[in-house]
Amino acid sequence: MDLFQKCQDYTIVKEVMDAGLYPYFHALQSGQDTVVTMEGHRTIMIGSNNYLGLTSDPRVIEAAVEAVKKYGSGCSGSRFLNGTLDIHLELERQLAEFLHKDGCITFSTGFQSNLGIISAIAGRNDIIICDKENHASIYDACRLSFATMVRFKHNDMEDLERLLREAPDSKGRLIVTDGVFSMGGEICNLPKIVELARKYGARIMIDDAHGLGVLGETGRGTAEHFGLMGEVDIIMGTFSKSLASLGGFMVAKADVINYVKHTSRPFIFSASIPPANVAAALCALNILKKEPERVRSVNAVADYMKELMKKNGIPLRETRTPIIPVMTYDDMRTFKICKELLEEGVYVNPTISPAVPQGQSMIRTSYTATHTRELMDEAIEKFVKVFSKY
């Protein structure tokens, strides 16, 4: 059989394109902001993870520019060898301090962070217990680790306890969960997870990519939201969302950081984060520290939009985060609605099977601290116009 036969048989994308409904790879001609220029048209952006609105902040941009001037465009090597800059170390120091942990290690992308953490920490004699709706990078990391991976029903604590109870005492146990689930916007049940981890001697890792800058009084994420900052063993986060850059990190106890730093193949054998990205993330972190009101602002914007959607009969799934899923149920219907919204000047993200169960397709909308009520009023008018047809 020809290796490429699968490529020739993969016709669904062409079929959607031929129908004029292909919803991906729309090009921006402007920076990421609340309003962008997309394919030549003014577009309200409610499909970005720019939660704190910092990608267009002049201070962040200037920090990135100055870093390029000082350090050049790249590091030309891994952190393990020639690719460590003093600003890498400063960013790690500040993240560890901010999240109340002993140490921190940074990775070149968020996806790579989960690969690097989990594949180093968990081995053949360990069990990783995952929420079924965890991010794809967590599942790929589990495969790379060679540990046994079992899944509990989404946010189902009885099912989690069943799996913990069945796990042999001879094996190390790691509970891994998203803090904020990226598609549905729900928050994990961290208090119960902590209780069960204590009961069964397990460790906890939270992927807080969508929690940092969004949850907690000061934006420290899911653990702060629940008052459990000292109870999570490993917190993973990214720079590509609230911190307006690219990359990822883990914070944990010093001995855990030291172990991952010297055994994680995705970390050791990857080039380090470029200077501009490090400086942008560091600047964004300092803005978050000085301006925690941005956390309240992004949630206030999302709350305002939820009320508008409810008032106008838009079928949303209730969440407590700036991620608001709008139910569309059918894949092709989702494509049609996204296309019509874009034509009206509103960008949203289609989410279809297998990312969600068949028949549960939805539009993922997400909000930014710098969105105004006027923009949300304009966006809801477009939603009502399009959804009234369906």
Same-domain pairing of 309 and 275: no
Q: In the structure, what pLDDT confidence band is assigned to residue 356 with cuts at 50, 70 and 90? A: confident
The pLDDT of residue 390? 86
233 assigned to some structural domain: yes
For 366, half-sphere exposure in the C-beta direction (CA atoms, 13 angstrom radius) is 25
The residues annotated with a catalytic role in the active site are: 182, 210, 241
Q: Are residues 272 and 336 in the same domain?
A: no
Q: Who's near 222: CB < 8 A, 6+ residues apart?
A: 179, 180, 187, 188, 190, 206, 208, 211, 215, 216, 232
Structure tokens at 109: 């992308």
* Residue 81: CATH number of its domain: 3.40.640.10
Percent of the chain with pLDDT over 70: 100
Decide if 118 is inside a domain: yes
Which ranges in 215-348 belong to alpha helices (H)?
A: 222-225, 254-263, 265-268, 275-290, 293-311, 331-344
CB 270 within 8 A of CB 105: no
CA separation for the pair 192, 207 (Å, rounded): 17
Q: What's the confidence (pLDDT) of residue 213?
A: 98
Same domain, 271 and 312: no
pTM for the full model? 0.96
Could you tell me if 280 and 331 lie in one domain?
no
Residue 353 confidence class, pLDDT cut points 50, 70, 90? confident
Give me 40's structure tokens.
């030549």
Residues 37 and 143 in one domain: no
Is the pLDDT at 123 greater than 90? The verdict is yes
Q: What is the pLDDT of residue 358?
A: 85
What is the pLDDT at residue 291?
98
Within 8 A by CB and 6+ apart from 369, the residues are: 51, 52, 53, 294, 295, 297, 298, 301
Answer whether 139's CB lies under 8 Å from 132's CB. Answer: no
In a domain, 3, yes or no: no
Q: Is residue 274 part of a domain?
A: yes
Over residues 247-258, the mean pLDDT reads 98
Rounded to the nearest 10 degrees, what angle do helices 136-145 and 110-121 cross at? 30
pLDDT-based confidence at 204, cuts 50/70/90?
A: very high
- Residue 350's pLDDT band, with cuts at 50, 70 and 90, is very high
Average pLDDT on 209-230 reads 98
Angstrom distance (rounded) from CA 242 to CA 244? 6
Segment 148-159, tens digit of pLDDT: 999 999 999 999
Final residue in a domain of this structure, among 290, 309, 339: 290
- 254-311, pLDDT tens digit by residue? 999 999 999 999 999 999 999 999 999 999 999 999 999 999 999 999 999 999 999 9
Summarised one tens digit per residue, pLDDT across range 365-387 is 999 999 999 999 999 999 999 99
Of 302, 273, 228, 226, the C-alpha closest to 52 is 302
Of 265, 218, 15, which Cα lies nearest the Cα of 118? 265
Residues 108 and 149 reside in one and the same domain: yes
- 252 and 369 both lie in a single domain: no
Rounded mean pLDDT, 355-369: 92
Whether 6 maps to a domain, the answer reads no
In the chain, the number of structural domains is 2
Q: Are both 306 and 325 inside the same structural domain?
A: yes
Q: Domain check: are 286 and 300 in the same one?
A: no
Evaluate whether residue 379 is within a structural domain: yes
More confident residue, 162 or 12: 162
Among the three residues 228, 259, 290, which one is the final residue of a domain in this structure? 290
Whether residue 79 has pLDDT greater than 90: yes
Number of other CB atoms surrounding residue 68 within 10 Å: 14
The average confidence (pLDDT) of the chain is 96
Residues 112 and 241 in one domain: yes
**Domain assignment present for 329:** yes
Domain-embedded: residue 276? yes
Could you report the per-residue pLDDT of 190-203, keeping only the tens digit for each?
A: 999 999 999 999 99
Task: Give, rounded to a whole angstrom, the gap between the first and last alpha carbons of the chain.
Answer: 44
The domain containing residue 357 runs over which residues? Answer: 11-45+293-387
Residues 320-344: what's their mean pLDDT?
96
Domain shared by 215 and 358, yes or no = no
Sheet architecture: strand order including 41-45: 35-38, 41-45, 346-347
Strands in 323-329's sheet, in edge-to-edge order, are: 323-329, 361-366, 349-351
Tell me the per-residue pLDDT of 24-40, one tens digit each, with 9 for 90 and over.
999 999 999 999 999 99
CA-to-CA separations, 182 to 1, 118, 321, 359, in angstroms, rounded: 38, 19, 10, 19
Asked if 215 and 105 sit in the same domain, the reply is yes
3-state secondary structure of 312: coil
Could you tell me whether strands 346-347 and 349-351 are parallel, antiparallel, or unpaired per DSSP bridges?
A: unpaired
Give CA–CA dist 200/296, Å, rounded: 36
CA–CA dist 130, 355 (Å, integer) = 16
* Banded pLDDT at 354 (limits 50, 70, 90): confident
Q: Which of these three, 258, 290, 322, is where a domain ends?
A: 290
Domain of residue 344, CATH code: 3.90.1150.10
Q: Whole-angstrom Cα distance, residue 151 to residue 382?
A: 39
pLDDT of amino acid 134: 96
